[in-house]
């Protein structure tokens, strides 16, 4: 394994249990066109994987919304999908995963702080999704997207049986923007603490804290449901 990507592999494995082995795909996913232009011996950059990842994200989110919002028509589903996969959401995930640490940039991009640009982080997240899909297939990448973007796992339904899903459905019924989650992580690897704030229509609606991201997000969603008059 290439030491350059060991930390990235560790982060992905910690989040999802996925073990990425294809260094060639990771190198392609984290090579920006400006770096390739300065290294003509290297013929690939992340744009092709970004194309694949964008399509995979749309497909996974569309399927989740189809199953979780049975009363939604095409217009509703399209609106919900657009809100979930908007660039700022994907850039936020790229930043949380620290993807900018691994990108290979041209000198100009590097000097101007290109690794922190939202547009680049969005591209890197989509390229990583493309790499996971090509190496491990649909089921694996769908689980990863459900976890990091939708906050659900393969053993829990997105809407019916968990606070995050109930909050998503409530926002849909009330014509609100889909909830988004801000995550802060502290502590050592074996004693991680996750602090989560859930944002609804631009306002903090609930907060939660736990030893796992999933539980902290569920607690934040439960608090939001209480605040919105929908608690158990």
Active site residues: 54, 126
Helix (H, G, I), strand (E, B) or coil at 73: coil
Spatial CB neighbours of 123, under 8 Å, sequence gap ≥ 6: 32, 46, 47, 50
Strands 203-210 and 193-200: antiparallel
By the 8 A CB rule, do 188 and 211 touch? no
Count Cβ neighbours within 10 Å for each residue of 13-33 and write b for 16 or more, e otherwise: eeebebebeeeebbbbbbbbe
CA–CA separation, 68 and 172 (whole Å)? 11
How is residue 178 annotated by DSSP? P
- The C-alpha R_g of the chain, in whole angstroms, comes to 18
Asked if residue 150 lies in contact with residue 84, where contact means CB atoms within 8 angstroms, the answer is yes
CB-CB contact of 125 with 99 (8 Å): yes
- Candidates 147, 146, 123, 183; CA nearest to 63 is 146
Q: Bridge-partner residues for 186, per DSSP?
A: 193
């Amino acid at each position: 394994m290439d030491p350059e990507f060991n930390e990235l592999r560790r982060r992905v494995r910690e989040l999802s249990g996925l073990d990425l082995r294809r260094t060639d795909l990771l190198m392609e996913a984290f090579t920006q066109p400006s770096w390739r232009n300065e290294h003509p011996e290297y013929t690939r950059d992340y744009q092709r994987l970004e194309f694949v990842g964008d399509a995979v994200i749309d497909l996974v989110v569309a399927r989740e919304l189809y199953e979780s919002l049975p009363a939604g028509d095409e217009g509703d589903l399209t609106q919900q999908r657009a809100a979930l996969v908007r660039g700022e959401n994907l850039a936020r995930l790229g930043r949380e995963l620290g993807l900018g640490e691994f990108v290979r940039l041209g000198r100009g991009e590097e000097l101007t702080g290109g690794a922190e640009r939202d547009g680049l982080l969005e591209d890197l997240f989509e390229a990583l999704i493309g790499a996971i899909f090509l190496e491990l297939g649909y089921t694996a990448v769908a689980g990863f997207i459900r976890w990091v973007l939708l906050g659900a796992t393969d053993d829990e339904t997105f809407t019916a049986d968990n606070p995050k899903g109930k909050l998503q459905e409530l926002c849909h019924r009330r014509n609100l923007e889909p909830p988004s989650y801000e995550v802060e992580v502290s502590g050592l690897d074996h004693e991680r603490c996750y602090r989560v704030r859930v944002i609804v229509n631009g306002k903090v609606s609930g907060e939660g804290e736990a030893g796992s991201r999933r539980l902290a997000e569920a607690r934040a969603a439960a608090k939001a449901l209480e605040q919105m008059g929908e608690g158990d």
